[in-house]
């Protein structure tokens, strides 16, 4: 839609907790602007799958980081959204399964694992310089100089309701209060971990998505990116 006016190098970061619609809006924004899309959560999930397959202790960051560095985590950029490959096998669906979800926060807490994945994310951006990248630390740690950085947040009760709706659509019935407690607990863990904590990056554009639809969030982002590009004279 707007890709004709986008510069040849443009990294846009989207940080924020789970349940803010981050992945969906990141992918839609990338499509709208004709940019590529990187889901960094899937890289932490791939690291968890490596731990599962090699029966490694996820709390042993050093051993796991070595395995992650050795095993090639790659993306198939011809797919939309890009699929994630482990040693050539498409594991995109596998990464959403329960065992991976249950292990991934422990894996994401390991500083040694983060070092390896952050380096891979920067290499990806060097090869794919027109990129929308989303995660917990993309604007704060990985790409602090990105031209546009967003921080999405939303009321925990709203995020919990979105999660309950998603699960209900898949046929699972869960209690809203339990999900709210789980989200608050995860926010606390994410924002207090020592390495790559979830924080609002300084200078990032703050969007409260509590009362916004996905379309409204994407529209607001497109406006801000178009303005930032025009202001910098890069277009």
Positions that interact with ligand DC (CB under 6 A):
18, 40-42, 44-45, 104-105, 108, 135-138
Task: Tell the smallest beta-carbon distance from residue 227 to ligand DC (Å).
Answer: 26
Q: Report the alpha-carbon distance of residue 131 to residue 37 in Å, rounded.
A: 6
Residue 57 neighbours by CB distance under 10 Å:
10
Q: Closest distance between ligand DC and the C-beta of residue 233, in Å?
A: 31
Q: Which is nearer to ligand DC, 115 or 234 (CB)?
A: 115
Least distance to ligand DC from the beta carbon of 133, Å? 8
68 near 117, Cβ under 8 Å? Answer: yes
Q: Which is nearer to ligand DC, 147 or 193 (CB)?
A: 193
Closer to ligand DC by CB, 28 or 45: give it.
Answer: 45
For ligand DC, the closer CB: 26 or 35:
26
Residue among 16 and 130 whose Cβ is closer to ligand DC: 16
- Token readout for 161 is 């309701």
Q: Which of 118, 123, 108, 168 is nearest to 141 (CA)?
A: 118
Q: How far is the CB of 5 from ligand DC (least distance, A)?
A: 28
**Of the two residues 6 and 125, which places its CB atom closer to ligand DC in the complex?**
125
* Terminal Cα-to-Cα distance of the chain (whole angstroms): 14
């Amino acid at each position: 839609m707007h890709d004709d006016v986008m510069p040849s190098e443009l990294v846009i970061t989207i940080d924020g907790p789970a349940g803010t619609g981050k992945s969906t809006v990141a992918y839609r924004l990338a499509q709208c602007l004709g940019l590529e899309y990187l889901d960094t959560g899937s890289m932490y999930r791939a690291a968890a799958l490596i731990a599962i397959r090699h029966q490694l202790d996820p709390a042993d960051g050093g051993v796991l980081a070595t395995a992650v560095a050795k095993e090639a985590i790659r993306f198939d950029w011809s797919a939309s959204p890009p699929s994630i490959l482990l040693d050539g096998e498409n594991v995109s669906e596998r990464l959403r399964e329960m065992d991976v979800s249950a292990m991934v926060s422990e894996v994401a807490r390991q500083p040694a694992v983060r070092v390896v994945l952050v380096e891979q994310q920067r290499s990806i951006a060097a090869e794919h310089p027109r990129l929308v990248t989303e995660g917990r630390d993309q604007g704060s740690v990985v790409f602090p100089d990105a031209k546009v950085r967003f921080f999405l947040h939303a009321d925990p009760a709203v995020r919990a309701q979105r999660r309950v709706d998603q699960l209900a659509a898949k046929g699972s019935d869960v209690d809203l209060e339990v999900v709210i407690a789980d989200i608050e607990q995860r926010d606390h863990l994410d924002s207090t971990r020592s390495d790559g904590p979830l924080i609002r990056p300084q200078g990032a554009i703050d969007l409260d998505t509590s009362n916004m639809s996905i379309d409204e969030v994407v529209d607001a982002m497109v406006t801000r990116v178009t303005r930032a590009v025009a202001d910098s004279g890069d277009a």
